[in-house]
Amino acid sequence: MKPPFLYTFRFCCDPGFREEEELESLSQFVQCAQIDDVAVFANVEELNTGHMTFEEQDRYLALMRRVQQRLSPFNVTMSVNQWHSVMHADLGKRFREEDGFRPMVDIDGRESDLCVCPLSEAWQAYIGELYARYAALSPFLLWVEDDFRLHNHAPLHWGGCFCEEHMRLYSERAGKTLSREEFVRGILAPGEVHPYRKIWLDVSFETMRKAAEAIERAVHRENPTARIGLMSSDPHIHAAEGRRWGGLLKALAGDTCPADRIHLPGYQETAPGLYLNTFNQVSMLTRAFLPAGTEVYPELENYPFSRFAKSKRFTRFQLLCLFPLAADGVMLDLFDLNGNGIVWQEGYQEMLREVKPYLSAIARFRAPFARGADGVRVLVCETSAYTLHTSRGAEMEELYPQETLFAGLLPAMGIPYRYETSPDCEGQIVAVSGQVLRNWDEETIRGLFMKNRVLLSGDAACVLLERGLAELAGLEAAEWMVQDEGAYTYEQVVNGRVYGGLREARASAVISCSDALRVTFAPGTDAALYTAFFDSFRRRTAPGEALVKGRVFLYPFGRFPSPIEIPPMLLNPVRQEILQEALLEMGADFPMVQGAPYAAPYTWQDGKNRGVYLVNASTEDIETLSLRNVWAKRVFAFDSRTKTVQAFLTQPDKDGVRLALSLPSMEAVMLWWEQDEKE
């Protein structure tokens, strides 16, 4: 039976190099670290020889059989981690002429020396046979690496594929012979989307699906029950090549259960708060796009593989952050990929053994969380690259959607969220940013605003104006104020309330902020201003944050340089209090954490029972916990340090309760209670 939370250990052994010693070490490590599955690398990283021959594969097949024999007495399974498919990068290697693979070609017509066009029939036959030979071993999972993509194949310019065969397909759909230059100009054309964009995205997705189907057919001819999993990387980048995760995973899985290895950020240690921002904008977004029933084993990697890169404590923190993904387990990439094998002196085994019981115990909350995750709905669309407008039309990166602002911002401010992939929700608070509103017709967008309350970024407000729907947010006109060009340097509270313990509190909006939207409200619009923008001469220059008609909260920032960047100036205690207060005025009924920066709540409800999985991603300890919108006399807590359940009597606090519960830095706690009526 599969464990509640599965540890998969990625194992690199160079066949013939200290092989017996490493197999014995592996036997000991799986017991000490409570490993459930071992994914054996083949032809990996420093030991990669290019597209391996079947004779080279034989050495790894023999190693894998020996690993299976070693693991069998411990009831530990084996998976296969073939390191390359298309190939990550050239890295000084070249195709073998006898292989006959068609190379990937980039925008400029440059051919790769090692990365293959996924439509190459010779390569599809080769990669299918390679995986079929692994499938004969009946592994727990066969993994396809994240080089199974079109982007990021150095030294190509962005990626491919613009080979002659692909150009033929693009031309066929365009109804004319296309040059690369003309086709790329159309893909990236600013303003209204050019028809070439759809051709690019459609053909790119079909390319990867056909390659996936080739692997699936070969594997299941050999072993009908073998399962194939995929490592997924940043979804906003994959959007630029038209990827739809459900279709691709289905193509790989066939009639078996799909499996995905979600990319976790933080290959090197960083501030835990910054890690959390990226986790919410990348890993959690991937989870939202996966089809129901997918098994999820996120990849935790400590590159370049020592405690110089990342401490054991930070690695443990990453494990504690996994619960919101409703993960079935984790893939652990802890040691060098050069044949060193297991390095005992790093001490990962003790840390893994210590935290495993907690991860297994909180797994029982996985189903109610997945079923009833609560909070602000952050609206995203998997196919936004089809509809978004580029500004310069110069780079493929302009096709990356920017819709996750609030998924990074809200949890850092103690506000729970969940991704929402459909605008057909009702009775919710929905956060809208980027150009996501280009994906639906006018009737759908009107329904979204009529049936819900909306957090609206500056970018999203511009889309409303452009589409003639400005009245939904009470707007008449708007123009961008460019950061650091003098139009504004700070926001100041103008509603007479106290935030951060200050009257007329100010929040900086210079240097590390963003552009801001100067709006003009339609005549007669009920717009309750929280703040206004001021310049260096203390002149009021524009409205700031505002609650319009009691239903739309205008958050006027936007035009961020990166899809996953949260400008540091926006993370501010005054702005935190304003945003939480605005949500309460909009009718928010979910718990929020007061005061504590980077105390991220992931909330759920099951009937009268409510719960919060709280991660302290600050480097400071939380001494007492203050929760808004919690009305309960007693709260149960199961924390990651003691691994015991405690009951806390609550004390009334502003808009909620306070608990005498401390939560150290980079630790987590599961809270649950039965919600009482608000007094």
Confirm or reject CATH 3.40.50.300 for domain 6-365, answering yes or no: no
Residue 112's H or E segment, with its range, is: strand 111-116
Q: What is the pLDDT of residue 273?
A: 96
Identify any residues that bridge with 37 across adjacent strands, giving them in sequence order.
8, 77
Query: Does 375-585 match 592-674 in CATH topology?
Result: no
Number of CB atoms found within 10 A of residue 255's CB: 9
Q: Tell me if 600 sits within 8 A of 408, measured CB to CB.
A: no
Q: 58: Cβ–Cβ under 8 A, 6 or more apart, which residues? A: none
Q: What is the pLDDT of residue 677?
A: 61
Q: Which CATH class is domain 592-674?
A: mainly beta
Amino acid at 575: R
Q: What is the pLDDT of residue 421?
A: 96
Q: What residue ranges do the domains of the chain occupy?
A: 6-365, 375-585, 592-674
- Tell me, letter by letter, the H, E, C secondary structure of 564-621: CCCCHHHCCHHHHHHHHHHHHHCCCCCCEECCCCCEEEEEEEECCEEEEEEEECCCCC
Distance of alpha carbon 132 from alpha carbon 137, whole angstroms: 9
Secondary structure letter of residue 44 according to DSSP: -
Q: What is the pLDDT of residue 371?
A: 81
- Which of 108, 91, 1 lies closest to 46 in space, CA to CA? 91
pLDDT in tens, 8-60: 999 999 999 999 999 999 999 999 999 999 999 999 999 999 999 999 999 99
Q: What angle do CA 411, 413, 416 make, to 5 degrees?
A: 35
C-alpha separations of 142 from 27, 117, 231 in Å: 21, 22, 11
Residue 82's H or E segment, with its range, is: strand 77-82
Q: What is the pLDDT of residue 679?
A: 47
**Average pLDDT, 10 consecutive residues per value, the chain (679 residues):** 94 96 97 98 96 97 98 97 97 94 97 98 98 98 97 97 98 98 97 97 98 98 98 95 96 97 95 96 97 96 93 97 97 95 95 97 89 91 98 95 97 97 96 98 98 98 97 97 97 96 96 96 96 98 97 97 92 96 96 96 89 97 95 94 92 91 96 77
Question: b vs e for 380-403, b when ≥16 Cβ sit within 10 Å of the residue's Cβ?
Answer: bbbebbbbbebeebeebebbbbbb
Question: b vs e for 336-362, b when ≥16 Cβ sit within 10 Å of the residue's Cβ?
Answer: bbebbbbeeeeebbebbeebbebbbbb
Distance of alpha carbon 450 from alpha carbon 445, whole angstroms: 9
Pairing verdict, β 527-529 and 546-548: antiparallel
Q: Which CATH class is domain 375-585?
A: alpha beta
Half-sphere exposure of 330 (CA within 13 A, CB side): 24
- Which of 448, 412, 442 lies closest to 430 in space, CA to CA? 448
Distance of alpha carbon 604 from alpha carbon 364, whole angstroms: 13
Q: What is the pLDDT of residue 369?
A: 85
Q: At 325, phi and psi to the nearest 5?
A: -80, -5
Distance of alpha carbon 126 from alpha carbon 106, whole angstroms: 23
Cβ neighbourhood burial of 236 (10 Å; 0-12, 13-18, 19+): buried
Distance of alpha carbon 634 from alpha carbon 647, whole angstroms: 7
Q: Tell me if 203 sits within 8 A of 170, measured CB to CB.
A: yes
- Which of 676, 679, 667, 674 lies closest to 641 in space, CA to CA? 667
Q: Tell me if 487 sits within 8 A of 518, measured CB to CB.
A: yes
**CA dihedral over 18, 19, 21, 25, signed as positive or negative:** positive
Q: What is the pLDDT of residue 372?
A: 75
- Which of 350, 655, 625, 638 lies closest to 647 in space, CA to CA? 638
